[in-house]
Structure 1
Amino acid sequence: MGTTITLAEEIMLLSLDDESGAVRQRQSVAPALAGAILLELVLAERVSISGKHLELRSTEPTGEPLLDDRLRLMETWLRRLSRRRVADWLMKDYMKVTGPVLERLGERGLVAEQVHKVLGVFPQRRYPEVDGTVERALRERLATAVLGNVRPDDRTAGLIALLHGAKLHRLAFPDHSPASVKPRMAEIADGQWAAEGVRAAVRDMQAAMVVIMAATVVAVS
């Protein structure tokens, strides 16, 4: 992994308001975070996805705490079953993943946790940006691929596919209308950027994220 931050942390950086540290579009961001970690585990060959099912291929640590924690949870969740549905894992994980991702960004010194008391009682956590260099480089990478029509590397393409699947176009490109960036993001998401198994996994994750987001809208309304 080196110093490369995870795809989930990249999505979180895009979603955080730099000044206030609030998470924007939280209901759509959470499923994207769970999908990003799962994609990372697929790319690291710890998990494989076939059709709508996932199975554990290796429990060997990746060296990235965020991924290794999920790997352990997934191993427990699967128990002695060889495979379970992708959508079931994402549905289980998306409610729990935001905190660990924010914590990891804090450990890296990219954001700082601030706790405010709402009405003097309820703690509300915010994560204003401390070091903006990583997010700036990330946004330049996205702009090069989407606005500049340059072929992205696999990780960037995977990130764009997840952002597109979770309808986070506005977070990725706040100065452009979603309609102006969607066609190119869709083209990248569908393109020849990785092995067919990985692309199929992303398609299944996108479908699962749509279901999750629809369920959360119903629950909230």
Structure 2
Amino acid sequence: MTKDLTIGEQIVLLTLDEETGTLREAPLRVSLAVSAAALLELSFSGYLAEHDGTLVVAGATTPADPAAAAVAGHIQSHPEETPREWLLAVREQALDTAYQGLLEKGLVREEGRRVLGAFGSVKHPVTGLSELVALRGRLTAVLAQGQDPDERTAALITVLHHAGLKTALTQGPRAEAPENRLIAIAEGQGPAAALGDTIRTTVAALTAVIASSAL
């Protein structure tokens, strides 16, 4: 099932403490990574493309992924904004839809009660441990064992790296990634080079927001 998860859902699953159901990383960092992932989902679908250093609408059909659809809706309403502004505007909604996707797929359960729709003290312990192990295994195969990543796995690694979500990349046995291997993928070298300018534009927006937020 791991390949059926959106990139945003994979990010949340990897950053959750499987027992307590709370994020092991700063929520703002995770939400920005998930919103960046939604931008990439739009580029993979052909809805967005890079042009002269920014992202522009290139297609008419939005993907079924709710987070990507939310981003597309915001872009349609605010075409004058930059990718950096898009990330900030949709980050909470993107994170919420990632949680909802994991709930619907039976990979987490929800504990606690939302107040006015907000998560607050709501927790999401992981119930799909086999899927989490499989996802970590796929990252280990790429980062520690030299397996070539497919486009979506390379995108996942790139977003996690540039969002500073290090623990999500190093969980599980023998998961420590050689720094040069991680950088090669995250900087779009080798098999990840096909990701092109779209991911670089998204990453630039992501790192700018994180830097300005002093995270």
Shorter-chain TM band? 0.7 to 0.9
Question: How many pairs does the alignment contain?
Answer: 207
Matched, 1:193 2:191: yes
Q: Deviations over 1:134-169 (max 9, x none)?
A: 221111110000000111111111111111111212
Matched, 1:137 2:138: no
Decide which structure has greater strand share: 1
Q: What is the alpha-carbon distance in structure 1 between the residues aligned to residue 8 and residue 190 of structure 2?
A: 22
Gaps spanning 5+ residues in structure 1: where? Answer: none
* 1:59–1:71 contact (8 Å) kept in structure 2: no
3-state DSSP class of the match of 1:21? coil
Q: Aligned ranges for residues 198-217 of structure 1 at < 5 Å?
A: 198-217=195-214
3-state DSSP class of the match of 2:106? coil
Q: What is the alpha-carbon distance in structure 2 between the residues aligned to residue 108 and residue 140 of structure 1?
A: 20
CA change 1:85–1:178 in 2 (3 A) is farther
Q: What is the alpha-carbon distance in structure 2 between the residues aligned to residue 156 and residue 164 of structure 1?
A: 12
3-state DSSP class of the match of 1:113? coil
Q: Deviations over 1:185-204 (max 9, x none)?
A: 111122143565x4222222
What residue in structure 1 maps to residue 162 of structure 2? Answer: 165
Q: Aligned ranges for residues 61-80 of structure 1 at < 5 Å?
A: 61-78=62-79
Q: Which has the larger radius of gyration?
A: 1
Deviation (angstroms), 1:181: 3.6
3-state DSSP class of the match of 1:49? strand
Q: Which amino acid aligns with 1:23?
A: L
What residue in structure 1 maps to residue 9 of structure 2? Answer: 9
Matched, 1:42 2:43: yes
* 1:51–1:200 contact (8 Å) kept in structure 2: no
Q: Aligned ranges for residues 26-175 of structure 1 at < 5 Å?
A: 26-78=27-79, 84-115=81-112, 123-174=120-171
CA change 1:201–1:111 in 2 (3 A) is same
Q: What is the alpha-carbon distance in structure 2 between the residues aligned to residue 86 and residue 210 of structure 1?
A: 11
3-state DSSP class of the match of 2:191? coil
CA change 1:103–1:96 in 2 (3 A) is same
3-state DSSP class of the match of 1:54? strand
* 1:52–1:85 contact (8 Å) kept in structure 2: no
Q: CA RMSD in A?
A: 2.6
TM-score, length-normalised on structure 2? 0.85
* 2:49–2:56 contact (8 Å) kept in structure 1: yes
CA change 1:29–1:101 in 2 (3 A) is same
* 2:106–2:127 contact (8 Å) kept in structure 1: yes
Deviation (angstroms), 1:175: 5.5
Deviation (angstroms), 1:105: 0.9
CA change 1:216–1:60 in 2 (3 A) is same
Same amino acid, percent of matched pairs: 26
Deviation (angstroms), 1:46: 0.9
* 1:32–1:163 contact (8 Å) kept in structure 2: yes
TM-score, length-normalised on structure 1? 0.82
